[in-house]
A and B are shown apart, each in its own frame.
Chain A
């Protein structure tokens, strides 16, 4: 099935740790394709946050980390800050779709 499933929303207090899951299938993450994560602050374009499952582009704080296993992936954010409030999207490649797949997105609220 060509879907990446994310929780619609997560929340946490400043300083806390939150995780966002991205559940795929054997046609995408389970097929060995990498997972990438984007942060979209309201009113702005998405920004690459994590690439190739675990790598951070230059300038992304190490509070953000990614992991991947079997048919799923996770984004972890530690030491939550108010500016982390945004929408987060996972992305991979799907062999059944023969194309790029985005997760539905997760809205992070910093309480």
Chain B
């Protein structure tokens, strides 16, 4: 069974860069897309972006200028970097496996990792 686990700093200062890593276990990263999704406290889900195991990416246009997703299949990890964060970026960040490009679904999720942006 595929399992995902987010990790990283839980507190980031405004204007700095948020960095999270997702470690995948129980399955191969090949042939799938690997994604980040976030959920502000008390609010709904927002897709951040995804990366194919071979490196192509697709980002939410509203976040594209600040977001980079990278992948290291040898370590079975993928990462999120979000620059110039503000309090509005405070959220529960989920990593998830996305089944296919354009028309896929998220079939495996991490437990979520709370990132707070505050000085």
Contacts and interface: CB of A to CB of B under 8 A. Distances in A.
Is chain B found bound to chain A in the same assembly?
yes
Interface of A: 33-34, 36, 38, 44-48, 51-52, 57, 89, 91, 93, 97-105
Contacts of B44: 89, 102-105
Given A48-B106, A100-B35, A100-B98, 5 more contacts: A33-B103, A34-B105, A38-B106, A89-B44, A103-B44
B106 A46 contact: yes
Interface size class of B (residues with CB under 8 A): 20 to 34
Nearest to A46: B109
Contacts of B104: 93
A60 to B, nearest CB: 12
A63 to B, nearest CB: 20
A45 B94 contact: yes
Contacts, number: 59
B112 A45 contact: yes
A52 B45 CA distance: 19
Interface string B32-55: 000100000000111101100000
A100 B47 contact: yes
A45 B110 contact: yes
A57 B107 contact: yes
A98 B57 CA distance: 12
Contacts of B47: 99-102
Tell me which of B59, B107, B110 has the highest count of chain A C-beta atoms within 10 A of its own C-beta. B107
A97 B45 contact: no
Contacts of B110: 45
B66 to A, nearest CB: 15
Tell me which of A38, A47, A99 has the highest count of chain B C-beta atoms within 10 A of its own C-beta. A99
12 contacts: A33-B103, A34-B103, A36-B105, A36-B106, A45-B94, A45-B110, A46-B45, A91-B105, A91-B106, A100-B50, A100-B60, A103-B44
Contacts of A98: 58, 61
B107 A33 contact: no
